[in-house]
Amino acid sequence: MNKKKNGKTTSFAPRLANGDIRVVDRGRLPDSIKEGLRAIAKAEGKSMSWVKEEVIIDYFNLKRPKYKKKLSALKRA
């Protein structure tokens, strides 16, 4: 999913293929960590939630979930 913000497009994490819903995060991280995550998200054009997901997966060496394919990709196939 993409959303325009201040003239820039931000990509949100794709929906999970198995239909699970991500747990809501209320953002109780220290300000310095939130600023760092915001900087990464802005540089990569992603949402903060997606950046958090990727950081946690990489740090704990977890298996990446399967994501639903974009509709535009399905139409081309």
Predicted pLDDT of residue 54: 94
> How is the chain split into domains, by residue range?
2-76
Question: Tokens 């300000």 identify what position?
Answer: 31
Task: Give Cα separations from 58 to 1, 24, 55, 63 (angstroms).
Answer: 22, 20, 5, 9
- Per-residue pLDDT of the chain in tens (77 residues, 90 and over written 9): 555 666 677 677 777 888 777 777 777 889 999 899 999 999 999 888 889 999 999 999 999 988 888 776 556 55
Predicted pLDDT of residue 76: 59
- pTM for the structure as a whole: 0.63
Give 7's DSSP letter.
T
Question: Tokens 């959303």 identify what position?
Answer: 3
- Three-class secondary structure of residue 75 per DSSP: helix
Question: Tokens 């990727």 identify what position?
Answer: 54
